[in-house]
Amino acid sequence: MKALARFWPASLRLQLTLLFGTIFFIAATAVLAVTMVLVDNSLRYALTLAFDETCKDAAQLQSLPAPLHGGNDTTKQVIAASMQQNLLLKGAVTVLVVGAVAVTAAWFVSGRLLRPLQAISSTASAIAGRTLHRRIALRARPGEIKILADSFDNMLDRLDQAFAGQERFIANAAHELKTPIAVNRTLVEVAMNRRGAPPEVLLLGENLLSVCMRHERLIDALLTLARATDTVTERRQLDLADLARNALVGTADEAAARSIDIDAVLAPAPATGDPVLLEQAVRNLVDNAVRYNITGGALKVRTAQGLHGASVMVSNTGPEIADHEVPGLFMPFRRLTDRVGSTRGSGLGLSIVRAVAQAHGGEVAARPRPGGGLDTEMTVPQRTASVASGNELRDQL
């Protein structure tokens, strides 16, 4: 059974075609076998009647061909065998021809029957990749496929409500978290700006401001990650080269302070997506490459347009990273705590990059560099597939 399952096709259309064809050939073979038995019995009876000289039905004898009169058993067997072979040959050819026609018809019929399922599957994939606000809205007669489409629409309704509630919760949580931090920062700044503030207060104020800024960045990163894992509702034409150029400008001071050599080749890389999310993703790639670099290290940034879409590649020197440690870098709050500069981040940088890339139908990959550092590449498709509407589905049905 395992060997049969290994060679059994995965396509449901091909399975139905093979099933219909097999059933037809079995039924046709059974009909041919029964026909052979009936013809053999009838033939033997007719030959016996024709060659039996004691037959009293003279009219029936006179109606038979003359050469048949006075024959023997050998003649009977030859005639019977010849007629059986002729019937078997013609019957087999007929079964094969009609079987080929039946298999072809089964292929087209199964495709016609499965067309609504294929339309639903393609539409479901497109909906999941773009927005939860679209529905299949299948207009068809009541049946299994109609029930399936309606059930999928009901599931989308529940998911849409759940994500809407999640967005409201995130917005409220962000407001509640940022408000006290902003208040604390204001109080600290007021205390630091008072006349005669002792040095201890100034030092404490600087530490508190640093903590507040870290918390604000963490909240912003969490909000970006939550937004990136949701569906992308805003898509515009943009160029990853411009985003990379802005990211390099924003990190130029830190790179100069650490004597990091920057090598940038920013070729046009047009893409379609959310400019805010993609800008954050590119900025995270560049910031990580600087933050986790070594003093006097190197940073390379490349943008290009390829077969799979626009891409931005960032390479940096840094601590050595093993191959098995790379997947963990894309997990939230995962940091290499024993490496250079790994405690300065929140552990969300590459997680946001991966979430943004996946939300746009792209991908991000990283591999360790010989001698230390990381090569990271994010690819974003230039165009996205359109979602079939309910009218298009109805036309396909």
Q: pLDDT digits over 157-209, tens only?
A: 888 788 777 767 776 777 777 788 888 888 888 888 888 888 888 888 888 88
Q: Which pLDDT value is given to residue 311?
A: 94
Burial of 343 (0-12, 13-18, 19+ CB in 10 A): exposed
Domain end: 176, 195, 228, which one? 228
What's the pLDDT at 9? Answer: 66
Is pLDDT of 310 > 50? yes
Residue 36 counted as domain residue: yes
Residues 8 and 111 in one domain: yes
pLDDT at 256 > cutoff 70: yes
Pure H helices in the chain: 2-7, 12-51, 58-63, 73-130, 144-192, 199-229, 240-250, 252-257, 275-291, 326-329, 349-359, 390-396
Q: How many other C-beta atoms lie within 10 A of the C-beta of residue 78? A: 11
| 43 found inside a domain | yes
pLDDT at 138 exceeding the cut of 80: no
Looking at every residue in the chain, the average pLDDT score rounds to: 77
pLDDT of residue 349: 78
**Judgement on whether residues 46 and 126 belong to the same structural domain of the protein:** yes
The answer to whether residues 277 and 348 touch, using CB atoms and an 8 Å cutoff, is: no
Query: Does 216 fall in a domain?
Result: yes
pLDDT greater than 90 at residue 321 = no
Side chain identity at residue 250, one-letter code: G
Whose CA is closest to 219, among 49, 348, 76? 348
- Pick from 178, 204, 228: which residue ends a domain? 228
Compute the half-sphere exposure of residue 355: CA atoms within 13 Å on the CB side of its CA.
23
Q: Which of 60, 64, 59 is nearest to 75 (CA)?
A: 64
Q: Could you tell me what percent of the chain has a pLDDT over 90? A: 16
Choice between 381 and 83, residue whose per-residue pLDDT is larger? 381
DSSP 48-81: HHHH-TT---HHHHHHS-GGGTT--HHHHHHHHH
Please report the sign of the dihedral spanned by the C-alpha atoms of residue 171, residue 174, residue 175, residue 176: positive
Residue 31: per-residue pLDDT: 81
Domain for residue 153, yes or no?
no
pLDDT at 60 exceeding the cut of 50: no
Is pLDDT at 264 greater than 80 in this prediction?
Answer: yes
Based on the fold, state whether residues 326 and 358 are members of the same structural domain: yes
Among the ranges 42-56, 91-105, 213-227, which has the highest mean pLDDT value? 91-105
Average pLDDT over residues 266-282: 89
Domain boundary among 130, 152, 171: 130
* pLDDT, position 48: 64
299 and 313: one domain?
yes
Higher-confidence residue of 150 and 173: namely 150
- The answer to whether residue 248 scores a pLDDT higher than 70 is yes
pLDDT > 70 fraction of the chain, expressed in percent and rounded = 73
Residue 390 domain flag: no
- The domain in which residue 363 lies consists of 234-380
At residue 268, does pLDDT exceed 50? yes
Same domain, 222 and 246: no
Cα 368 from Cα 321, distance rounded (Å): 6
Instruction: Say if residue 292 is in the same domain as residue 370.
Output: yes
- Tokens standing for residue 240: 């990853």
Residue 104: band (very low, low, confident or very high) from pLDDT cuts 50, 70, 90: confident
Domains in the chain, number: 3
DSSP secondary-structure letter at 388? P
Q: What interhelical angle do 240-250 and 275-291 show, nearest 10? A: 40
Q: Is 71 left (phi over 0), alpha (psi -120 to 50) or beta?
A: beta
Assess if residue 281 is contained within a domain. yes
Closest by CA to 258, choosing from 282, 279, 281, 287, is 287
- The answer to whether position 394 is within a domain reads no
Greater confidence (90 vs 60) lies with 90
Look at residue 262 in the predicted model and tell me its pLDDT. 93
For residues 117-126, average pLDDT: 74
For the chain, the farthest-separated pair of C-alpha atoms sits apart, in whole angstroms, at 145
Q: Tokens for 48, please give them.
A: 């016996």
Q: 368 and 242 in one domain? A: yes
Query: Are both 17 and 120 inside the same structural domain?
Result: yes
Same-domain status, 195 and 291: no
- 373-392 mean pLDDT: 66
Residue 145 lies in a domain: no
Give the span between the Cα atoms of 179 and 359, in whole angstroms.
29
How confident is the model over 84-94, as pLDDT tens digits? 777 777 778 87
Three-state SS for 291?
helix
Is the domain of 263 the same as that of 325?
yes
pLDDT, greater one: 256 or 82: 256
**Residue 334 confidence (pLDDT):** 65
**Residues 215, 247 within the same domain:** no
C-alpha dist (Å) from residue 76 to 23, 61, 242, 307, 365? 36, 16, 95, 76, 82
What is the spatial distance between Cα 184 and Cα 173, in angstroms, rounded to a whole number? 17
Q: Tell me the HSE value of 120 on the side-chain side, using a 13 A CA sphere.
A: 20
Tell me what pLDDT residue 7 has.
Answer: 62
Q: Distance of CA 175 to CAs 40, 216, 277, Å?
A: 92, 11, 20
Task: Say if residue 210 is in the same domain as residue 259.
Answer: no
pLDDT reading at 322 higher than 80: yes
- Residue 97's pLDDT is 82
**CATH number of the domain within which 318 lies:** 3.30.565.10
